[in-house]
């Protein structure tokens, strides 16, 4: 299980972005993260910038996979369904439960969620 942004576990930095200009400002080893936005996703895919999409609906999850997202960030209410779809369709990207509570580790492990993205691991501009 991936634990991204946990205080005890080193991980790659995630940067929340909302524009192409902010993507250009992120460090080269960073993962850019944004709410589902096809224009930004298409740009990242073309530029080979690894990206995470915060998806809120199954349709966005399916499109995020087709656009080449490395990570699908989901809230707890969508996590189980998103993980099942990702497993059934053999998505390359990983489903990450967005959380601020490390007590969610047990929930994620019990339900075979790929990982957790802790809010403390997300940088903003």
Residues 53-112 pLDDT 10s:
999 999 999 999 999 999 999 999 999 999 999 999 999 999 999 999 999 999 999 999
What value does the mean pLDDT take over residues 46-57? Answer: 97
Residue 125 confidence (pLDDT): 84
pTM across the whole model:
0.96
Number of domains within the chain: 1
Pure H helices in the chain: 20-25, 38-47, 58-67, 76-88, 104-110
pLDDT in tens, 8-36: 999 999 999 999 999 999 998 899 999 99
- Record the tokens describing residue 95, joined without a space: 């489903």
Residue 120 confidence (pLDDT): 94
- Those residues whose C-beta lies under 8 Å from the C-beta of residue 68, and which sit 6 or more positions away, are 41, 44, 45, 93
Domain that includes residue 56, residue range? 2-124
> CATH code at 70?
3.20.20.70
- Residue 79 CA to residue 66 CA, distance in Å, equals 19
Q: Are 59 and 103 in contact (CB under 8 A)?
A: no
Q: pLDDT band for position 124 (50/70/90)?
A: very high
- Record the tokens describing residue 101, joined without a space: 């509570």
């Amino acid at each position: 299980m991936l634990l991204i942004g946990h205080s005890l576990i080193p991980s790659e930095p995630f940067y929340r972005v909302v524009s192409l200009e902010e993507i250009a400002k992120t460090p080269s080893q960073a993962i850019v993260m944004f709410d589902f936005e096809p224009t930004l996703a298409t740009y990242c895919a073309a530029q080979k910038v690894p990206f995470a999409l915060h998806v809120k609906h199954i349709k966005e999850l399916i499109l995020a996979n087709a656009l080449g997202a490395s990570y699908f960030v989901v809230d707890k209410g969508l996590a189980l369904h998103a993980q099942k779809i990702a497993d059934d369709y053999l998505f390359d990207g990983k489903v990450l439960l967005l959380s601020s509570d490390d007590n969610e580790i047990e929930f994620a492990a019990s339900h075979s969620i790929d990982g957790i993205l802790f809010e403390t691991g997300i940088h903003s501009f």
